[in-house]
């Protein structure tokens, strides 16, 4: 790989995104395979760059480098690990404008949202992990035992295309802080942010082999990482289908897994809520990234008597959204990631109409391009696919409920349990309803996302938690040292601590 240029905020001047190498062991290493994958801008079909289509041999090379670096990194003083991670994060922060523009190009997220969420929130999550680690006790006395939180080992982090850098940092930073080493496999659809992260890592204080990045698809690299006995923990975010494959592959070695999978989250509006506020916030959340988010509130559940008023509000709100070029500051929704994604969302919409749901708003998508208009259905019942299946597009189902018990029943009626919201004129009432919903995280009356709180799902939405102290602990094994008891008191070596 040629020399690393200084950070720039102008993506149009960047020409270093045609790769034949992976970032392994602190250097750029030629891929074992000869094939490459083009990275396509979903807004206009232009080619942004190319990455190697890695192989199982590349995956094993990355894991071997991580394993070799593990003893030194895991035994380094925690202050040294924090300093090295922070040196990398400072470079990322300085490069935030470029990264925002880059991710907007490769994902299709409107530029404003890309800078604020794809990059801004990603950095907030990373900083929160550093703060949580400062407060984390890695050893504690329990009777005559010392309970230790020790690094899980080599982590294989497999991330999706939709919020790629956010999910990468959400895995990498806590893993590195507690002393794990990491092999990241970004999605082959949106890998360019990871190229940039590797170049910034090269300029940081991170030791060689602590962070490795292997490019490729799920079949060639993802499956090899999940099945390798060298990977002590596989942290995967993606679809339920792929998550089951990862879990099955890891089971052969009894490797630990984190799975953050799909969702069919509900926003529950109670009869004393501010209907306009609840509907506006719910639709806005559901349309982020053109609905391509696992925590999307794709079911808006309102009191039956308020359904006509909710329909009017939804129609007015959605009519104001602008679909178009992500680079345009006035754009609210960009394209879907691929033509296959557009076809999948189209099929879901057609099936909804066939099953009797009424399209409240949303034109037919144009034949050309990957843009899809924001679409809302009403008269949706629990048995319809619109109410049960994750669509991963700008599609919301408006559903009526007949009181708090019915709203909770509807919320719990899917196989998913990742996110959600409850709206009421009383935080106490909303909280009481939220406690009955089987989902990993809920917003109460618009409470903001807290990166210090654990994130993850119930049921088919996954296994394990990321973010906050729980996220740090999830990258640890727990060890207990049993000391002898003399005179009724525990005896512990003063050399330990």
- Neighbour-count burial of 435, counting CB atoms closer than 10 A to its CB (0-12 exposed, 13-18 middle, 19+ buried): exposed
Chain-centroid distance, C-alpha 116: 15
294 included as an active-site residue:
yes
Cα–Cα distances (Å) from 418 to 219, 295, 381, 395, 461, in that order, read 26, 6, 21, 18, 5
Q: What does the alpha-carbon distance between residue 173 and residue 88 come to, in Å, rounded to a whole number?
A: 10
Token pair belonging to 414? 């899917």
Number of H helices, E strands in the chain: 16, 24
Give the gyration radius of the chain's Cα atoms: 23
- SS3 label, residue 126: helix
Q: CB of 85 within 8 A of CB of 131?
A: no
β-strand pairing of 266-269 with 420-423 = parallel
**CA atoms 306, 311, 317, 318: torsion sign:** positive
**CA atoms 176, 178, 179, 182: torsion sign:** negative
- Neighbour-count burial of 274, counting CB atoms closer than 10 A to its CB (0-12 exposed, 13-18 middle, 19+ buried): middle
b/e for 97-112, b at 16 or more Cβ within 10 A? ebbbbbbbbbbbbbbb
Choose, from 106, 180, 294, 476, the residue flagged as catalytic. 294
Choose, from 60, 188, 260, 443, the residue flagged as catalytic. 260
Q: What does the alpha-carbon distance between residue 106 and residue 195 come to, in Å, rounded to a whole number?
A: 12
Q: CB of 55 within 8 A of CB of 216?
A: yes
Percentages of the chain per state (helix, strand, coil), in multiples of 5: 40, 20, 40
139 included as an active-site residue:
no
Task: List active site positions.
Answer: 260, 294
């Amino acid at each position: 790989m040629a020399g690393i240029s200084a950070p720039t905020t102008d993506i149009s001047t960047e020409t270093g995104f045609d790769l034949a190498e992976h970032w392994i062991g602190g250097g750029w290493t030629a891929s074992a395979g000869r094939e490459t994958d083009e990275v396509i801008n979903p807004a206009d079909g232009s080619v942004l760059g190319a990455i190697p289509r890695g192989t199982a041999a590349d995956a094993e090379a990355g894991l071997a480098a991580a394993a070799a670096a593990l003893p030194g990194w895991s035994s380094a003083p925690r202050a040294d690990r924090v300093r090295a991670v922070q040196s990398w994060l400072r470079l990322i922060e300085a490069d935030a404008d470029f990264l925002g523009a880059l991710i907007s190009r490769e994902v299709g997220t409107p530029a404003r949202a890309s800078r604020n969420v794809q990059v801004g929130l990603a950095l907030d999550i990373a900083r929160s992990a550093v703060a949580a680690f400062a407060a984390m006790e890695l050893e504690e006395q329990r009777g005559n035992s010392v309970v230790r939180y020790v690094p899980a080992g080599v982590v294989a982090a497999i991330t999706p295309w939709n919020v790629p850098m956010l999910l990468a940092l959400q895995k990498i930073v806590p893993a590195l802080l507690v002393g794990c080493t990491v092999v990241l496999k970004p999605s082959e659809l949106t890998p360019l942010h990871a190229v940039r992260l590797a170049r910034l890592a090269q300029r940081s204080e991170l030791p060689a082999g602590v962070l490795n990045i292997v490019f490729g698809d799920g079949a060639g690299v993802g499956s090899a990482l999940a099945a390798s006995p060298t990977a002590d923990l596989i942290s995967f975010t993606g679809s339920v289908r792929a998550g089951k494959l990862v879990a099955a592959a890891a089971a052969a070695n009894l490797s630990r897994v984190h799975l953050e999978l799909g969702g069919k989250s509900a926003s529950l509006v109670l009869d004393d809520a501010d209907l306009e506020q609840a509907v506006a916030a719910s639709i806005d959340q559901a349309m982020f990234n053109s609905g391509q988010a696992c925590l999307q509130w794709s079911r808006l559940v309102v009191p039956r008597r308020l359904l006509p008023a909710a329909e009017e509000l939804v129609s007015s709100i959605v009519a104001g959204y602008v679909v178009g070029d992500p680079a345009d500051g006035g754009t609210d929704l960009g394209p879907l990631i691929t033509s296959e994604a557009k076809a999948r969302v189209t099929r879901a919409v057609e099936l909804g109409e066939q099953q009797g749901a009424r399209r409240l708003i949303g034109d037919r998508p144009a034949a050309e391009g990957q843009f899809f208009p924001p679409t809302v259905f009403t008269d949706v019942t629990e048995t319809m696919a619109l109410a049960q299946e994750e669509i991963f597009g700008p599609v919301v189902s408006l559903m009526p409920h007949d009181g708090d018990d019915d709203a909770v029943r509807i919320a719990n009626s899917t196989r998913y349990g990742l996110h959600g919201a409850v709206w009421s004129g009383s935080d106490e009432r909303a909280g009481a309803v939220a406690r009955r919903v089987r989902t990993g995280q809920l917003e109460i009356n618009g409470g903001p996302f807290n990166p210090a709180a654990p994130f993850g799902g119930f049921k088919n939405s996954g296994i394990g938690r990321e973010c906050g102290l729980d996220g740090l602990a999830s990258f640890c094994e727990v060890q207990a040292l049993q000391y002898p008891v003399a005179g009724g008191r525990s005896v512990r070596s003063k050399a330990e601590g």
